[in-house]
Amino acid sequence: MATIYQPDHEDFRATVRGFVETEVKPNYERYCEQRLIDRELWLKAGSLGMLGLHVPEEYGGAGTDDWRFTGVVLEELSTFSSGLSSSFGIHCDIVAPYLVDLTDAEQKARWLPGFAAGELIAAIGMTEPSGGSDLAALRTTAKRTTGGWLLNGAKTFITNGYRADLVVVAARTGNGKASSSISLFVVEAGMPGFIRGSKLDKVGQAESDTAELFFDDVLVPDANLIGEEGRGFVHMMQRLPQERLNCAVSNLAHAEAVFLETVEYAKTRIAFGQPIGSFQHNRFVLAELRTSLDVTRSYIQDCVMAHVAGELSAVQAAKAKWWSAQVQNDLLDKCVQMFGGYGYMRESMVARAWMDGRVSKIWAGTNEIMKEIVGRDLGL
C-alpha cells in the first residue's frame, strides 16, 4: 500500500510497528491462552495515539480525518495478528464513528477521553443469534419507561464483548420498517441486567475475546441514546462501508505476510535435492498468488483514497470486502499446502493464519451478502 502513504503516515507506521515488536510479541502467547488481551496493552495503545485517531483533539484524540492513519494501524497489526487487528479495529475504527458522529457534547465528554486513552474498551452489538447478517431482522427491543428505555434481547459473536466497558447496541424501538424503527444505545458495564456469556471458543483468533451479550430489563437512560431515535438502521448502513474497507485492508495485509514467509520457505526447504520453490508447479502457484495480491492491492488503494475523499460507496466497499477475503483464503490454503505437514501444526505461523483468516468470509456481512449488494447494483 506504500504508494498511497505520505511520510507522516510512515512515521506513524514505525510507531505501530514498534508497539507490535515490544509490547505484543512478548505477550502474545499469553493473550491466546487466556483468550483476552491484557488491559495494559489497550492503555499502551492509547498512549501511542492508536485508539483515538478520529476523536477530536479536545477529547484526547488526534482529530484526523485522514483514514490512512487507521489503515496503517490495521496493516501493521494484521501482519502479525489478525485477532489483535480485529479487537483494536472494532474499537478505533468501527465503534469510533458512532461515538464521534452521533453523540452530543455531554456524551462526547463522558466517553471519548477514556475511549481514546484505552481506559474504556468498546464493542458494537449488531449480530443476533437468530439473525446473522440480516440486521433488519433485529429482535432486541428497547421500550420507553420512566427515565429511559428497558432493553431486552441478546447479541452474539461480539468482538471485545467479554471485556467491553461500552457497547453500542442496536435495538428495535418501533414496529415499522427497519429504516424507521431501530435505535442505537450505549450500554455501559455494570448496568443491572447487562449479562455477558463466557468467552466463545473460536477456531481462530484466540487472542480476541468474543462473547454473547444478554440484556434483561436493562434500564438505559435517555442520555445513552445516540443518534436519532428510529434512525439506527440508517446510521449503521452509513457506516458499514468503512467497516468493510477495514476488513479489506486487514485481509490483504494478513495475506501478504503469510505469502512472504511462504516464499522464503520455498527457497530454503529442500526436497528431492532442490528447493521446493524451484519446482514449476510451486513456482507457478507463487506467481499466481503474487499477481493476485498486487491486483487486489490496486483496487483497495483506490477504495482507500475514495474513502479519504468521502466518496467510497457501499458497492465499492462490498467488492473490496468479499474479494479480499476470497483472495486471502485461497492464498492461505495454498500456503498451508506448500508447507506440507509443518503447515498443519498449530505452532506454525501459516497454520495459525489459516485458522484466523477463515472468518473473513463471514463477518461484516458474509461474502454472499456482499455479492448480493453488487448484484443488485447491476439491476438484477
Give the three cell numbers for residue 247. Answer: 476488513
**Pairwise CA distance, residues 193 & 204, whole Å:** 30
Alpha helices in 175-309 (DSSP H): 178-181, 232-268, 280-308
Q: Which three cell numbers stand for residue 135?
A: 440486521
DSSP-assigned beta bridge partners for residue 194? 215
Answer yes or no: are the C-beta atoms of 98 and 184 closer than 8 Å.
yes
Q: How far apart are CA 161 and CA 265, in angstroms?
A: 37
Q: CB-side exposure of 12: number of CA atoms within 13 Å?
A: 23
Residue showing cell 509443518: 342
Q: What is the DSSP letter of 2?
A: G
Q: Of residues 243, 261, 288, 347, which has the active-site annotation?
A: 243
Rounded to whole angstroms, how far apart are CA atoms 299 and 312? 12
| Whether 29 is catalytic | no
Determine how many CB atoms are found less than 10 A away from the CB of residue 368: 11
Chain position carrying cell 505501530 = 16
CB 123 within 8 A of CB 158: yes
The answer to whether 266 and 340 are in contact (CB under 8 A) is: no
- Write the single-letter amino acid at 124: I
Q: Measured at the alpha carbon of residue 56, what is the angle toward residues 55 and 58, in degrees to the nearest 5?
A: 125
For residue 21, give every residue at least 6 positions away whose Cβ sits within 8 Å of its Cβ, in sequence order, or none.
none
Q: Vertex 230, ends 225 and 236: CA angle to 5°?
A: 80
Instruction: Please list the active-site residues.
Output: 243
